[in-house]
Amino acid sequence: MEQVKKALNESATLRWGILILVGFILSVNYYFYDAFSTLKDMLKAEFGFTNTDYGLFVSFYSIPNTFLLMAVIGGIILDKVGIRRTGFAFVFFMAFGALLTAYGASEYYGNGGFGYGFMQSFLPNYSPELKMMLLGRFFFGLGAETSIVVVSKILVKWFKGRDLALAFGLKVGFGRLGTFAALQISPVVAQGGEALTTAIWLAAILTSTGLLAFLVYMLFDAKLDKQVNLTQKMSEKDKFKFSDVLDILGNRAYLYIALLCVTFYSAVFPFMAYAPDFFADKFGFTDVQSGRITSLLPLGTLICTPLIGLFIDRKGKSATVMIFGSLILLAVHLTFGLTNMLPYVPMVMLGIAFSLVPASMWPSMVKLVKEKQIGTAYGLMYSIQNLGLWGFPLIAGILLDKTNPGNPEVADYTAPIFMFAALGLLGLIFALLLKYENKKKGFGVELPLNKK
């Protein structure tokens, strides 16, 4: 009798190779998202953006996932039709949106290129450049968030029971690598605004290469599915049903972790979008210096997150780790708001917080929902998260304009920083509630993830 070959996901070499491949997709995704944080003043000078305009640009990323629920719909599609078709569609939207954003900032478009006249014909208070860039940001967000959901399900598929938290920690690390590269490279390429469009096009082209990487992954995924289907078929009771959404939302532990997700990420990502400008205004740093200081956060998470994931795989304590991460986040924002301490140590501490919470939060999902619901559960979380990523950058920009009338060169960031601190406090409360609910219901969130 012919010997049955091992499935691809049983090979450690292939598993980690797949992680690198999909990690690259995450890196270019985050590179584009964060490339603009060091370009804020240049965008204001080149295109006449206000702080509110910039906040709108940052927040537009989250509109399709907040108001159109595309991350939820994408998660449901993922559970219904599979990784390959879902992933290709949404990674394509991610790449298309990045290129459209770069086109909106290009000299050709600004000189009356295709679509300029149409964009000029409505909403005269907003420039044609801003409107085209907002459209690109919309498509980028539509694809980018669901592509992260797809990558999360890929990791569950290849790593469940085999260093899953470590894989998620490395996944987070790949995202932070993209952020670190963007903060380091983007202001240097932009040359103080002389080559602003070059910096934006570089980010867009890098993002487009993520589509090529996903095409390569599809070959491995198809082969794995073929191998698995030789020995097992999905029964009717294991197939995803739309009623599963109600089951997920009826789980209090899931709701607490989702609310922790939105408050925690809303206190980090929107802050990162303003951090270089905040450091420049408060401490007098240059754009390049501010970018390098801000990059301490992703550099720290790149190193620490896999270690936290390794700990959780073997020792557990995920809910406890989330509590510690939330406490550190709160302390860092209070430090920024109440003291004049130079930002080096606080940014390192913020990086540690951003290692503790994501590395423990995302892999914990396998303890709370069934495997057939994973895509939908992650999609719901990302849509809830995007509500914060849409609202709080915009609120921060409005607060800056209201508390700094006349658009001064040096802005007072006190109000936005205390807003981020309040979000940190809410995150801490939800982390404590999660631990209580887990203790009461016995989900096993505090237990190790690796199979014994």
Residue 448, domain member (yes or no) = no
Distance CA(151)–CA(375), nearest Å, equals 10
pLDDT, tens digit, 9 for 90 and up, residues 82-115: 889 999 999 999 999 999 999 999 999 989 999 9
Residue 400, domain member (yes or no) = yes
- Confidence grade of residue 197 (pLDDT, cut at 50, 70, 90): very high
pLDDT, tens digit, 9 for 90 and up, residues 261-309: 999 999 998 898 888 888 888 888 887 888 888 888 877 787 788 888 8
Residue 451, domain member (yes or no) = no
Distance CA(74)–CA(68), nearest Å, equals 11
pLDDT, tens digit, 9 for 90 and up, residues 416-429: 999 999 999 999 99
pLDDT, tens digit, 9 for 90 and up, residues 343-387: 999 999 998 998 899 888 888 887 888 777 777 888 888 888 888
What mean pLDDT do residues 38-49 have? 87
Domain of residue 414: give its range. Answer: 12-229+239-441
pLDDT of res. 2: 41
Dihedral (CA of 350, 180, 140, 196) sign: positive
Distance CA(367)–CA(450), nearest Å, equals 12
Q: Which candidate, 171, 131, 140, places its Cα nearest to that of 62?
A: 140
Regarding pTM above 0.85, the answer is: no
| Structural domains counted in the chain | 1
CATH code of the domain containing 73: 1.20.1250.20
Distance CA(413)–CA(433), nearest Å, equals 31
Task: Please give the DSSP secondary-structure letter assigned to residue 237.
Answer: G
What rounded mean pLDDT belongs to the chain? 86
* Range ranked top by mean pLDDT from 63-67, 136-140, 295-299, 442-446: 136-140
Window from 76-90, 131-145, 206-220 with minimum mean pLDDT: 76-90
Q: Please, what's the b/e burial string for 290-311 (b: 16 or more CB within 10 A of its CB; e: otherwise)?
A: bbbbbbbbbbbbbebbbebbbb
The structure tokens listed for 9 are 């996901």
Q: Which are the contacts of 297, defined by CB distance < 8 A and separation ≥ 6?
A: 176, 179, 268, 272, 347, 348, 350, 351, 354
What mean pLDDT do residues 171-178 have? 86
